[in-house]
Amino acid sequence: MKACVVGYGAMGKIISSMLGDELAANVALECKYKALEEVKEDFDVIIDFSNPANLDMILSFVKKTKKPVVFATTGYSDIELEKIQELSKEAPVLRSANFSLGVILLNRLVKEVTPILKDSFDIEVVEAHHNKKVDSPSGTAKMLLKSITDETGYTIQHGRDGYSPRSKNEVGIHSLRGGTIVGEHEVLYCGEDEIISLKHSAHSKKIFAVGAIKAAKWLLDKECGYYDMEDVLFGK
């Protein structure tokens, strides 16, 4: 595999280092190539660890070349997510809110546990990240919330303020930002006299690069379509 990495921030640098000889080129304003169209080296797959501002460039290039693309960027708007969905009709596309193998397993557990506990346990989601993260709730928290609401139909309550009791048919989401926290996500099932906690803590950003590389290799021989990390781990 030869991969072209879009983005050269913290994650772009980490995944480029981990790819080693499998790195074909980097595309970023601070790199030799500023756009995918400029890349001279041959490559098999695009891994995007940049920001939503690069989406139109990636869409244009992939529509022409049909190259597989792994979207590891977060913070997309609903309209941008629709564009990525449309792209999957023309090329293999894989997008995930989180590429940690542990987080994907956590999400699967949430899907299994929620239907069993929803009638007698209150559900709350807490996420924590470093003080430079610009979007909240995190993409991973949104993924967990979707898994919960798909199973329950609950409304989402962002934080708590004021003087009112908790509604039975809601799931709370709470975002913390501080220091250098890499990423923590916890789903709490709070029942009468007992609490069940499903939690994942990231101690290094390398875990996201490991998952993204695994996803890129998996995507190489796939047909046009929209895939996620659950497909990589559990099949589709």
Backbone phi, then psi, for 185, in 5-degree steps? Answer: -135, 130
**CATH number of the domain that 114 lies in?**
3.30.360.10
The catalytically annotated residue of 129, 142, 185, 200 is: 129
Q: Are residues 105 and 198 in the same domain?
A: yes
Query: Do 158 and 87 sit in the same domain of this protein?
Result: no
Q: How far apart are CA 84 and CA 76, in angstroms?
A: 10
180-204 in b/e burial notation, b at 16+ Cβ within 10 A?
ebbbbbbbbbeeeeeeeebebebee
Per residue in 8-38, pLDDT (tens digit) is 999 999 999 999 999 999 999 999 999 999 9
Q: Is 217 a catalytic residue?
A: no
Together in a domain, 197 and 216: no
Q: What is the total count of domains within the chain?
A: 2
Q: Are 54 and 36 in contact (CB under 8 A)?
A: no
Q: Are residues 128 and 79 in the same domain?
A: no
Whether residue 107 is found in the same domain as residue 198: yes
* pLDDT digit string, tens, across residues 211-234: 999 999 999 999 999 999 999 999
Average pLDDT, the chain: 96
- 67, 133, 205, 222: the active-site residue: 133
55 and 87 belong to one structural domain: yes
Residue range of the domain that includes 112 = 101-202
Q: What is the pTM of this model?
A: 0.85
Whether 37 and 63 share a structural domain = yes
Look up 129 and say whether it is catalytic.
yes
Q: What is the CATH number of the domain that holds 220?
A: 3.40.50.720
